Structure 1
Amino acid sequence: MTTRRDLLGGLAATTLLPALPARARSAALPALIAGTYANEGGAGLYTLAPAGAGWRVGPAAPLTGISFGVTHGAHRYLAKEQAKGRLIVTDRRARVLADVASGGDDPCHVAVSPDARALAVANYSSGTVSVWPLGRDGRPGAPTVRQQHGTGPNTDRQAGPHAHWVGFTRDARRLHAVDLGADAIFAYDIAGAVPGQPRVAWRAPAGAGPRHLAHHPRLPIAYVVTELGNTLVTLDAHTDGTFATRSTQSLLPAGFSGASFAAHLAIDARGRRLYASNRGHDSVAVFDLAADGTPRLIQHIASGGHWPRFFLLLEDQARCLVANERSGTVAVFRILPDGRLAATGQVLAVPGVVFLDRA
């Protein structure tokens, strides 16, 4: 089977922006974890320990191929990316509590429902979505696995469905799955922890390859980055779980003609700034979000390495850490009062780094 690993081979705007509302700043930096790919030199799940004004790289737990993870309470849920993928449940000290089949190939994203009663995994290469009930002890029960369907015009990347992101609605009654191969977002109605059959909630432009989604924290709006189209798409979110396109804009600067693939996006807690990473152009794009949620590009900044697959916003510490997969580096940025980023100069060596989270 051809896997996703086989297929994936600072210009700041001059507009002055008002400072964002002040947030309480904690002097203490949190300990972090970093998931890595073994085929790019990663030794496992690293610890990044606070050290002065930054972090130092600590030892790695022998959990290799961890492409993504989420932490809820005392438990951490990790996707082990491989053919016949695995979902690994650990405690906060990386002690393995459960290791179960992910329900497909190359799992790459995980989500816990807001009521903590269900957990979902996106399996990229098989195009399947798995949902587990979670017990009171946080451990997964028997999963329900759903197969998505669809193709796109890019025969190298879209010969079949490729689930890339999963997320629950705030009321935990619906699950969405972004599918790069099918050029679609699918919706699942959730009864307990059992998903219904997938239905198309939104169609992307042919060949766009949607990758990740983020909901606005206050407005009925969502944002999608398209990996193949290198665009940020703003969507109106409807109560029936469907979406409608409001606007589309490039994630790359005007005049750039090289190869690039959009990766991660995140929105600050107040819904004032949106951040997205570009692999190839090797940058983070920063957008101002207007009161109605309309994005406006305000900055491109170099990611501090090569192939920024993921980044982690630490708003209380005014920091953003960017995981540059192919250079094996984590670059540390300050979040300025207006939401833009500024390099601190600290770059940590973490071979094959692909995701970050609080420890």
Structure 2
Amino acid sequence: MTSGIADDVLYIGGYTPDTGGSGTGLTVVRRENGALTALAEVAASGPSFLALHPRLPVLYAVLEREQGGVAAYSADARGPRPLADGTSGGSYPCHLAVDPTGSWLAVANYGDGTVAIYHLGENGLFDGPPRLFPHQGHGPDPARQAEPHAHQATFGPGRVLHVTDLGTDEVRRVILGTEPEPHPEGPAHLPPGSGPRHMVHHEGRWYVVGELDGMITVLDADWRVAARVPASGASGQNHPSHVEVSPDGRHLYVANRGPDTIAVFSLDGEAPSLVAESGAGGLWPRHFAVAGDRMYVANQRSDSVATLALRDGVPEVTGEEFKVGSPSSVLVARA
């Protein structure tokens, strides 16, 4: 789905005026000759996170509002066409993901912590109502952790769905058999007050960024803490947002809100080692996507998606950006 040559097509989601932002909905842009150019806009209410079907030309979006929703669109660069919509099963959904087989769509509802799992039909659309997984619990921060806050849904090895819960300092797990069922071992626990936001799996380990403590927590295959390192080398408050492993497996990328940087860590040792930290090309980098020798960063508070050049795996600010209101998610697909 990604490309390191010309003609990247980006799908951008973000916050709209009815959800506290300034965007218009879904935006489609193309990168040609060193510039991002708008191709289409589709009105939507708070499409703050996007995902693509692994096989079919279907684009999914959460609709982050109190009565949460999800929507499916045709993944068409000429303009996504609405195909179906449904409930998110909770309030303020902020993330969704499709499993590698294209059979399940999982939605994380930040507002009440509910996780919703839809079965997808052969056409990639919702096949009946979602199965709901509510949760209970809290963390030590009364302002941010008074209740569960599901933040990211990630499909990992062994047909298991993993969901970070910022409110309870846990990774919740659901087994995907004939029907989704809670994992018999229950959730995995992270350090109190860490506020797990996003995570990524690589070679038997999970790398989890804490929005509240500004740390990267490394979990081994048995869900034990193997290492903890700061997500940024900068001083002051930091609220990491997104984390990914580079396509070649050498580096871990972390977006840092506050310092407004992309930190680059080597994965050669037992713990991630900071090797570089670059400007994000804007303010409050909420999400990013890597495409070959480029990284696209959704900078929410500067109303822009910045294009960074990757040189030996390290991002560099190019000054190239696309202005779009309150972006919070960026996806790359081939033209």
TM-score, normalised by the number of residues in structure 1: 0.86
1:36–1:64: 8 Å Cα contact kept in structure 2?
no
Secondary structure of the residue aligned to 1:152 is coil
1:85–1:102: 8 Å Cα contact kept in structure 2?
yes
Corresponding position: 1:28 with 2:12: no
1:117–1:193: 8 Å Cα contact kept in structure 2?
no
1:226 equivalent in structure 2: 210
Q: 1:328 aligns with which of 277, 287, 303?
A: 303
| Letter aligned with residue 159 of structure 1 | A
| Letter aligned with residue 308 of structure 2 | F
Q: How does 1:61-100 map to 2 (within 5 A)?
A: 61-72=42-53, 73-93=56-76, 94-100=80-86
Q: Once the 2 structures are TM-superposed, how far is the Cα of residue 262 of structure 1 from its aligned partner?
A: 0.9
* Alignment: residue pair count: 323
Q: Once the 2 structures are TM-superposed, how far is the Cα of residue 198 of structure 1 from its aligned partner?
A: 7.7
Instruction: Give a deviation string over 1:130-160, Cα, whole Å, max 9, x none.
Output: 1111111111122110112210111111000
Q: Once the 2 structures are TM-superposed, how far is the Cα of residue 197 of structure 1 from its aligned partner?
A: 6.2
1:144–1:195: 8 Å Cα contact kept in structure 2?
no
Change (3 A) 1:59 1:75: closer
Say what the alpha-carbon RMSD is for the aligned residues: 1.8
CA distance in 2, matches of 1:212, 1:193: 25
1:351 equivalent in structure 2: 325
CA distance in 1, matches of 2:246, 2:178: 30
Corresponding position: 1:40 with 2:21: yes
Secondary structure of the residue aligned to 1:281 is coil
CA distance in 2, matches of 1:327, 1:199: 43
1:108–1:164: 8 Å Cα contact kept in structure 2?
yes
1:245 equivalent in structure 2: 225
CA distance in 1, matches of 2:154, 2:197: 12
Q: Once the 2 structures are TM-superposed, how far is the Cα of residue 37 of structure 1 from its aligned partner?
A: 0.6
2:287–2:297: 8 Å Cα contact kept in structure 1?
yes
1:220–1:237: 8 Å Cα contact kept in structure 2?
yes
Q: Once the 2 structures are TM-superposed, how far is the Cα of residue 203 of structure 1 from its aligned partner?
A: 1.4
2:162 equivalent in structure 1: 176
Corresponding position: 1:123 with 2:106: no
CA distance in 1, matches of 2:120, 2:326: 31
1:227–1:263: 8 Å Cα contact kept in structure 2?
yes
Q: 1:110 aligns with which of 78, 96, 103?
A: 96
1:147 equivalent in structure 2: 134
CA distance in 1, matches of 2:184, 2:283: 36
Secondary structure of the residue aligned to 1:108 is strand
Corresponding position: 1:164 with 2:164: no
Moved more, 344-353 or 79-88: 344-353
Structure 2 gaps of 5+ residues are none
CA distance in 2, matches of 1:43, 1:154: 34
Q: Once the 2 structures are TM-superposed, how far is the Cα of residue 104 of structure 1 from its aligned partner?
A: 0.4
Q: How does 1:232-311 map to 2 (within 5 A)?
A: 232-238=216-222, 243-253=223-233, 256-257=235-236, 259-290=237-268, 294-311=271-288
Structure 1 gaps of 5+ residues are 1-24
Instruction: Give a deviation string over 1:30-66, Cα, whole Å, max 9, x none.
Output: 1111102113210111111223123123442112311
Secondary structure of the residue aligned to 2:220 is strand
1:168–1:175: 8 Å Cα contact kept in structure 2?
yes
Secondary structure of the residue aligned to 1:161 is coil
